[in-house]
Structure 1
Amino acid sequence: MKERIKSIVEINDNKVSSSFGFFIQALILLSVITFSIETIPNLKPRTRIVLKVIEWFSVIVFSIEYILRIYVADSKPKFVFSFFGIIDLLAILPFYLSFGVDLRSLRALRFLRLFRILKLVRYNRAMNHFTRAIKSAKEEILLFLFITLILIYFSAVGIYYFENQAQPEHFTSIFDSLWWAIITLTTVGYGDVYPITVGGKVFTFFILMIGLGIVAIPTGIISSALTKSVDKKQDE
């Protein structure tokens, strides 16, 4: 019985497992849609009842799925604390925590329902390729993030010394300058804070050039890892 259940809830090529996967995917999307509809003001009472019924049904199915996955797991603690195990728990946890409690005091927990959409990663092969690519390139990505944080801090310090005296209201401290550094290095440039001194403008030019590289580097890292992941899967 355990092996039979495992062949269904785990991703396999058999028809029953595929049907189960499609059903869970459809239910996840339905749950996310109803979550969005709930934010519409002045909904009719009947509509709210329907949304509540869908929520109950979704939570019951997700709870059964979570329990079954724990049951068939070779190492139950390993599954519970794995990425997908945590996502599965977060998908149902807000419902049980808010059960019988005024949601106004636990409104933030409703946001956790969005974690249900991450459950789709398990059932989508393209997303599985992407997940494997991220894992294979995690050291390069972590190194890139560390260097990016250093550059952000360096940029904040630099612009602070260039613009502090000219714009003390915007560049009061290095901490205030971090906002400018982030939006400049990411090439967003909201325009709410910008340099007015010659030195600040020249410094900004170089930071923008670095920012273009910051946008491009992770794309190259992930693209290379994704290509390797697809090639490896095809070889298998």
Structure 2
Amino acid sequence: MKDFVKSVVEINDNKLSRWFAFIIQGLILLSVIAFTVETLPDLKPQTRDILKSIEIVTVIVFTVEYLLRIYVADNKLKFIFSFYGIIDLVSILPFYLAIGFDLRSLRALRFLRIFRVLKMVRYNKAMAHFIFAIKSVKEEIILFVMVTMILIYFSGVGIYYFENQAQPENFSSIFDSLWWAIITLTTVGYGDVYPVTIGGRVFTFLILMIGLGIVAIPTGIISSALTKTMDEKNE
């Protein structure tokens, strides 16, 4: 029995498995569409009832799928705490946590439903290659994140000491300066807050140059990993 269930719920080259994957993907899309429509103002009560019914049906199916995947997993704890296991749990958790509560007061839980989109990764080979590529360079990405955090803090402290006296309302503390540093390093820009001192402008120029490099680094790392992954697949 377990082998039969495993052949269906896991991705295999048989008709039942393909139908199971097709149904789950269809329900994921239906759930995401319902979640989006739910945000429209002035919906009719009948429409809200339909959306609620869709939510209940999809949660029941996703719950059964989650329990079946735990049942057929060779290492159940490993699956539960794996990427897919966590996504499967998060996709149904808001529904059960919200039982007995007013969802309007638990908007964060409603937001978690959007993680159902990530369930599609399991059925998409291209996304699977992307996830594998990310895992293969996770140490480089962690190092990049650490360096970025250090640069953000350095930038926030630097601009604070350059601009605090000239613009105490905009750079009143290092915390305010950190927000400026984040949007500057990511080259997003912050039109109404900018340095006015010569030292601040020179410092900002240097930060912008660093920001351009920071944006390019992860792109190069991931692109290289994806290329390597596809070459290994072709071989």
User: Higher mean Cα deviation, 135-144 or 1-10?
Assistant: 1-10
In the alignment, does 2:142 pair up with 1:142? yes
In the alignment, does 2:209 pair up with 1:231? no
Which SS does the other structure have where 2:189 is aligned?
coil
In the alignment, does 2:181 pair up with 1:173? no
Q: Deviation of residue 28 (structure 1)?
A: 0.5
Contact preservation (8 Å) 2:180, 2:190: no
Q: Deviation of residue 101 (structure 1)?
A: 2.7
Provide structure 2 residue ranges, at least 5 long, that are not aligned to the other structure.
none
Contact preservation (8 Å) 2:157, 2:174: yes
Q: How does 1:65-80 map to 2 (within 5 A)?
A: 65-80=65-80
Q: Please list the CA deviations of residues 141-180 of structure 1 after superposition, one character each: whole Å capped at 9, or x if unmatched.
A: 0001111111111111111111111101111121211011
Which SS does the other structure have where 2:134 is aligned?
helix
Which SS does the other structure have where 1:67 is aligned?
helix
Q: Deviation of residue 71 (structure 1)?
A: 0.6
Q: Tell me the TM-score normalized by structure 2.
A: 0.96
Superposition CA RMSD, Å? 1.2
Q: Tell me the TM-score normalized by structure 1.
A: 0.96
- Identity over aligned pairs, percent: 75
Give the aligned partner of residue 19 of structure 2: 19
Q: Deviation of residue 78 (structure 1)?
A: 1.2
Q: Please list the CA deviations of residues 90-141 of structure 1 after superposition, one character each: whole Å capped at 9, or x if unmatched.
A: 1111111212332233332111111111111111101000000000000000
Distance in 2 separating the partners of 1:169 and 1:78: 51
Provide structure 1 residue ranges, at least 5 long, that are not aligned to the other structure.
none
Q: How does 1:34-183 map to 2 (within 5 A)?
A: 34-183=34-183
Contact preservation (8 Å) 2:152, 2:185: yes
| Displaced runs of 4 or more, over 3 A | none
How many residues align? The count is: 235
Distance in 2 separating the partners of 1:110 and 1:157: 37
Q: Deviation of residue 52 (structure 1)?
A: 1.2
